[in-house]
Amino acid sequence: MNEAINFYFFDTYAIIEILKGNPNYDKYKDVKQFVSVFNLVELHLHITREFDEKLADDLVDEYSRCVIDFNFADIKETTKLKIEYAKRKISIRH
């Protein structure tokens, strides 16, 4: 039996909640994760301000292996989907 592999795009908020140990995010700890370079900028800024730069550097190094590339067509399609599903309050996942 083939098991489905879930791929999730993590926004900065999700990463921070996982790091904080929020139990609502436990089910996402071991999934295949994707992030953008913009998420890493936000993450580094937040962790540097709240904790320290060394921890921020380590986390960015760890999450850098999950960075996906995107193009302008992806940006446009993502915007359309976010608007279309705004009332559902769902996150876009891959």
Q: What was the pLDDT predicted at 89?
A: 58
Q: What is the DSSP letter of 26?
A: G
* Rounded mean pLDDT, 29-47: 92
pLDDT confidence band for 51 (50 / 70 / 90): very high
Q: What was the pLDDT predicted at 2?
A: 52
Q: What was the pLDDT predicted at 91?
A: 54
- Cα–Cα distance for residue pair 94/10, rounded to 1 Å: 10
Q: Is 94 in contact with 10 (CB distance < 8 Å)? A: no
* Rounded mean pLDDT, 62-74: 92
Q: What was the pLDDT predicted at 45?
A: 96
| Average per-residue pLDDT for the chain | 86
